[in-house]
Amino acid sequence: MKYKNILVPFDGSDHARDALKAAEDLVAGVEGAHITILNVIASSDINPTFGTDNPFWSSADLMGYDEYKDYMKRVIDSAKSGLEASVHDDLERLGDKASVDVIAYPGAARGIAEYVGDHDIDLIVMGRRGLGALRGMLGSVSYGVLGSVDVPVLTIK
Percent of the chain with pLDDT over 90: 61
Percent of the chain with pLDDT strictly greater than 70: 81
Class of domain 5-156: alpha beta
Instruction: Report d(CA 80, CA 106) in Å as an integer.
Output: 18
pLDDT band at 46 (very low <50, low <70, confident <90, very high): confident
Residue 134 reports pLDDT greater than 70: no
Q: Taking residues 35-59, report their average pLDDT.
A: 70
pLDDT in tens, 49-81: 555 555 555 555 566 788 878 888 988 999 999
Q: Dump pLDDT digits (tens) for 9-32.
A: 999 989 999 999 999 999 998 999
Q: Residue 94 pLDDT > 60, yes or no?
A: yes
Q: Which residue has the higher pLDDT, 55 or 147?
A: 147
What DSSP character marks residue 59?
Answer: G
**pTM of the shown model:** 0.84
Q: Where are the domains of the chain?
A: 5-156
Taking residue 83's Cβ as centre, other Cβ atoms within 10 Å add up to 20
Helix (H, G, I), strand (E, B) or coil at 157: coil
- Number of Cβ within 10 Å of residue 31's Cβ equals 8
Choice between 100 and 65, residue whose per-residue pLDDT is larger: 100
pLDDT at 120: 93
Q: Tell me, what's the pLDDT at 157?
A: 83
CA distance 148 to 39: 17
